[in-house]
Amino acid sequence: MNTKKLINEFKLTIDSKSVNEAFARVAVSAFVTPLDPTLEEIADLKTAVSEAVTNC
């Protein structure tokens, strides 16, 4: 019996530049899509990603 726990993760490394903001937002949104988030949750994630990219 295989009891390994699957972990679904990815690492995205980009320069902290405003030109990369949209790409980072779309990448994170696409990654969480299988979790069936609400539009509000996606908007919150996009805001957090935007802040992370532009405030570094």
Q: Where are the domains of the chain?
A: 18-54
Residue 52 CB contacts under 8 Å (≥ 6 apart), including other chains: 24
Task: Give me the DSSP letters along 7-30.
Answer: ---------S-GGGHHHHHHHHHH
pLDDT score for 2 = 67
Contacts 24+ apart (CB under 8 A), 29-38: none
pLDDT digits (tens, 9 = 90+) for 20-54: 999 999 999 999 999 999 999 999 999 999 999 98
Q: Specify the pTM.
A: 0.77
The 8-class DSSP code of residue 34 comes to: G
pLDDT for 56 equals 73
Judged by DSSP in three states, 33 sits in helix
Radius of gyration of the chain (CA): 14
